[in-house]
Amino acid sequence: MDARHINARLRHGEALGPEHLKWFAKGLADMTVSDAQAGAFAMGICHVGLGAEGRTALTLAMRDSGRVLDWDLSGPILDKHSTGGVGDCVSLILAPALAACGAFVPMISGRGLGHTGGTLDKLEAIPGVVTSLSEAQFRSVVGNAGVGIVGASDDVAPADKRLYAIRDVTATVDSLDLITASILSKKLAAGIEGLVLDVKCGSGAFMKDPAAARQLAQALVDTANAAGCRTSALVTDMSQPLAPALGNALEVAECMRVLTGDTGGPLLDLSIELGAVLLEQCGLAAEGEGAVRMRASITSGEAAARFGMMISEMGGPTRFVEDWLRFLPTAQVVRDIPAEQSGYLTRVEGEALGHAVVNLGGGRHRESDRIDPSVGLSDIVALGANVEAGQSLARIHAASEEAAAHAEARVRAAMHVTDEVPDILPLVRERIG
């Protein structure tokens, strides 16, 4: 068995068996497979597809190409994955709330991608927090706090890490089979027993089309369940930012307001919905009682306490929850964007808002770019709001007046105020699994 033989099978439209996919994943990890052969493999899958069984086999093969964690803890091992959107900081609320309900959440997360923010970048806006932990440190954090949110080490799904980089430069990112295997191989390598997927759809998401979002959600659910991990998905609306803030420290601030009971809204609602699915799925809550348990873990302050414990264990301030405003960095320039006319906020181009934050320095154009955690947007008006001329649509946090002026022009172009009252879609569009 070799790469040429496997790529030839793909070229001729012949099915690949688990043994072919396992060999290729191992070859990606140990460099037996060349970049050219990996590119041909990805292109072949884009053209031919793997089917449901092949998709599961590739996921397991890439999971097993590196270290797979196992746990000996007193509760179920759970996790959540989002396909990405603007103002989506659910993980920072959901994970500690699940821990407060008796679960353990070893969450392997990523950094910002394109116009969307990354959970690791948000955590690192908190002074001292380190997200690149050794396995022993990761186990200690999860064991003590019930939750740990870290980056993937080099030995977690190394086949995916290599194939992902090759897909990025060979125009083979857009493949249902490869997307599914990439997402799930890393999640399953964390040794989880239950998973909930948040598949975003709308102007602020990578997937704008509802049918495509549903297709991805179904493929992820089917594949994860076939791989032995009980999984469900919610297809959720991203027609506007989930939180009224974009930017790393600003999104952490919104999470702290939710965790300490100062605010609610869609960010709290979706965190509770996703957590309820997991609690009922794993038996920590009876059917219909998951949302009650999730809400109680937040209103009691137990979720905030778990979050604070995790931050302290990962090098952050020991009293972050009690005094978070003092620790989060703030921008040099803060100014409002007044509406130029009265009317309704009819449409929000979420992706454009995300790019505005990236250009402020809140994200990366290149992997080597350094992020300014203090910049971004806050106090973003909700879709459908009736605004008066001169009323603020959003507040800019920038490093300079020049950067703020550029951002203001982009934000104005992305937020449309008209006389038309928009239809507001439900936060959860569909449940799968």
- State the catalytic residues: 79-82, 119, 167, 182, 186-187
> Do β-strands 392-398 and 376-378 pair in parallel, antiparallel, or remain unpaired?
antiparallel
Spatial contact of 374 and 249, defined as CB atoms under 8 Å apart: yes
Q: Which residues contact 165 (CB under 8 A, 6 or more apart)?
A: none
Buried b / exposed e over 326-362, threshold 16 CB at 10 Å, is ebbbebebebebebeeebbbbbbbbbbbbbbbbbbbb
- Beta bridge partners of residue 394, listed in sequence order: 337
**Closest-CA residue to 238 (of 395, 409, 424, 112):** 424
**Closest-CA residue to 378 (of 244, 238, 242):** 244
DSSP-derived 3-state class of residue 99: helix
Measured between alpha carbons, how far is 182 from 184 in angstroms, rounded to an integer? 6
Q: Phi/psi at 315 (nearest 5 deg)?
A: 100, 0
Tokens 């799904």 belong to residue: 157
DSSP-derived secondary structure for 263-323: --SHHHHHHHHHHHHHHHHHTSS-TTTHHHHHHHHHHTSHHHHHHHHHHHHTTS-TTTTTT
Signed CA dihedral, 325, 329, 333, 335: sign only: negative
- 107, two tokens: 């969450």
253's enclosing H/E stretch is helix 248-259
> Do β-strands 105-109 and 147-151 pair in parallel, antiparallel, or remain unpaired?
parallel
Measured between alpha carbons, how far is 295 from 291 in angstroms, rounded to an integer? 6
> Do β-strands 194-201 and 230-237 pair in parallel, antiparallel, or remain unpaired?
parallel
C-alpha 127, offset from chain centre: 22
- 37, two tokens: 């052969």
Spatial contact of 380 and 394, defined as CB atoms under 8 Å apart: yes
